Structure 1
Amino acid sequence: MQTIFTRGPSLNNRLTLALVLSVGLILVDHKLNGFDAARVYLNSFMSPLQYVANLPSTMLNWSAERVTSQQQLISENEYLSEQMLLMSEQLQRFQMLKTENQRLRALLDAPIRENIRKKVAQLMAVDNNPFSHQVVINRGASDDVYVSQPVLDESGIVGQVMEVGSTTSRVLLLTDVTHALPVRSGRNGIQFIVVGSGALDELYVEHVAHSVDIQVGDMLFSSGLGNVFPEGYPVAQVSSVTRDESRPFAVIIATPMAKLDRLKHLMLLWSDKEAVGDE
């Protein structure tokens, strides 16, 4: 009777044979370098597997570096944005001083103050009412914000604070139909009143007689009258002048200098009587 499985060499014989073959292969490889070609092929075969094994670690390191770099960029961008606003506020005042010096005339009764207190605020919300131009900022009574406080961006006057909460405030934009602002021409010093038109890119210069010297391109600056806005900050540039003798006044349209459709960071200014300390 034949068994299905024939008996092979014993385990000891197999172990001895394996040891002999191993020692022989080691000697052949050491003395004759017989497996150099095979080793090259094996290394080439294993290289992709090594890359795959290292891929999770590489991806994790790359993701960590990218997140860190992005956070640094965000922090630097916020810092630079605030610094730009602080510097632009000074440039706006210097622009007015340059205009005044070129025309060799004295400043008006409300001169520009060099050490005016200011603080950066950030836009939080925009009023969704199409007939009301208002925004909400992240500064309130805890930051000494007060009603009628002037608000600027890096280009010019934005509006004034109309409501103050503990940590937030509501700002009325100068393009709102209920807003009016006394200004004067940077070219000849004539005083005007600009009012909101209800459109973010238009202001009306009201009650201007046909004989008044006002031209397209004239820069309009805050006059300081009314004790709300300090004197000398850019408000608008005249974009259209229509003199129709059938009407009692000329139709004057101006474009706000502030970028009201792209507000993000804003500047709050303190008057002398409201300031509680310089920053």
Structure 2
Amino acid sequence: MLLCAIAASALMFVDHRFTRMEEVRAQLSTVVAPIQWVVSVPSDVLTWGALALSEQRALVEENRRLREQILHLSHRVQHMSSLTAENVRLRELLGAAARNEVPYITAELLSLDSDPFAQQMVIDRGRRNGVFVGQPVMDASGLVGQVTAVSAYSSRVLMVADASHALPVQVNRNGLRFVVQGTGQYDALSVLHVPDTADIRVGDLLVTSGLAGRFPPGYPVARVTEVEHDPGQPFARVAAAPVARLQRSRHFLLLFPPEPAPVPDDAGWDRELPGDEPPDALIEAPDTEESG
């Protein structure tokens, strides 16, 4: 036990001081990937057994609920199709560029981090599937987080609820932009530096703003749950709850957002205004001789 403690301390020191351990960690993650799959087998077997032993009445009731849900979603899709067509016409009138669909791949949960102070998880997609560090991860409800480490067959995802995670968002109702940071709890986020006079209300939906270039704009992140104004303070205390089901989702989408367009070197930032002349171009007055 003493030797294991010394070895663990040495590895933590090396990992903290040197960046070469990232590749070693990735290789070790590849080695332990089969172990993670084996660990997830009992849960899959139990799920299959529970489904096989379900009563027919429960299956009929679940089938009925699913049919109602499909009908409800079909109605929403029909409504959204008309809104999409209207949005396209308005963009054509305004001359705005059309929004392209963001490609994605699906992934499944392998394990959750056992550290109570870190909200992270491991999914079954890795470098062989094109996953990269910083890639956005979604579930059926909203943004889950981003990829922080990638191995050949699996990846580690940092959730939005982690205390070290922050991202720029905007209020879907009026476009106000803020920064949302995790609090270390799955059901709570903190909206930072909100002016006391800002138009933000309980129930407002916060979506990605796309300003950082990492998350594509328009994806739901959280919903405001509390706005507290303190007289005499310049900022209000605003709390929000993630819309993603961080503790219940098992299937996810990994987005492949387009790379931001590079800014050309001759964008005209240093262009001289008309009439401006450099200091060395000042015209000196000619010398004149006084006449007798």
Fold match (TM-score > 0.5): yes
Q: TM-score range by the shorter chain?
A: 0.5 to 0.7
The 1:250/1:259 distance shift into structure 2, 3 A limit, reads same
Q: Which residue of 2 aligns with 1:242?
A: 228
8 Å CA contact retained: 2:91, 2:98: no
Q: Show CA shifts across 1:217-255 (max 9, x none).
A: 111110111111100000111000000024331000011
Q: Which residue of 1 aligns with 2:176?
A: 190
DSSP 3-state at the match of 1:195 = strand
Structure 1 Cα separation of the partners of residues 91 and 161 of structure 2: 31
Paired amino acid for 1:121: A
Structure 1 Cα separation of the partners of residues 100 and 170 of structure 2: 20
1:165 to 144, 147, 151: 151
Q: Which residue of 1 aligns with 2:142?
A: 156
Matched, 1:116 2:102: yes
Q: Which residue of 1 aligns with 2:193?
A: 207
- Please say which of residues 115-124 and 138-147 is displaced more in the overlay: 115-124
Structure 2 Cα separation of the partners of residues 111 and 221 of structure 1: 20
Q: Which residue of 1 aligns with 2:20?
A: none
Give the gaps of 5 or more residues in structure 1.
1-65, 72-79, 275-279
Q: Show CA shifts across 1:80-132 (max 9, x none).
A: 9xxx9xx9xxx8xx69x77x96xx899xxx98843321011000010011111
Matched, 1:255 2:227: no
Q: Which has the larger radius of gyration?
A: 1
Structure 1 Cα separation of the partners of residues 143 and 221 of structure 2: 5
Q: Show CA shifts across 1:251-278 (max 9, x none).
A: 000110000110200110002249xxxx
2:251 to 258, 261, 265: 265
Identical amino acids, percent of aligned pairs = 45
Q: Which residue of 2 aligns with 1:134?
A: 120
The 1:211/1:203 distance shift into structure 2, 3 A limit, reads same
Structure 2 Cα separation of the partners of residues 178 and 112 of structure 1: 34
The 1:105/1:238 distance shift into structure 2, 3 A limit, reads farther
Paired amino acid for 2:241: T
Structure 2 Cα separation of the partners of residues 119 and 217 of structure 1: 31
Give the gaps of 5 or more residues in structure 2.
1-47, 54-65, 261-292
1:222 to 199, 208, 214: 208
User: Cα RMSD (Å) of the superposition?
Assistant: 3.3
DSSP 3-state at the match of 1:261 = coil
Determine which structure has greater relative contact order: mean sequence separation of CA pairs < 8 Å that are 6+ residues apart, divided by chain length.
Answer: 1
DSSP 3-state at the match of 1:262 = coil
The 1:113/1:165 distance shift into structure 2, 3 A limit, reads farther
- TM-score for both structures, normalised by structure 2: 0.57
- TM-score for both structures, normalised by structure 1: 0.59
DSSP 3-state at the match of 2:247 = helix
8 Å CA contact retained: 1:158, 1:260: yes
How far does residue 197 in structure 1 lie from its aligned partner after superposition? 0.8
8 Å CA contact retained: 1:112, 1:230: no
Aligned residues: 184
Paired amino acid for 2:211: L
How far does residue 200 in structure 1 lie from its aligned partner after superposition? 0.3
State how 1:174-185 maps to structure 2 within 5 Å: 174-185=160-171
Q: Which residue of 2 aligns with 1:48?
A: none
Structure 1 Cα separation of the partners of residues 195 and 232 of structure 2: 12
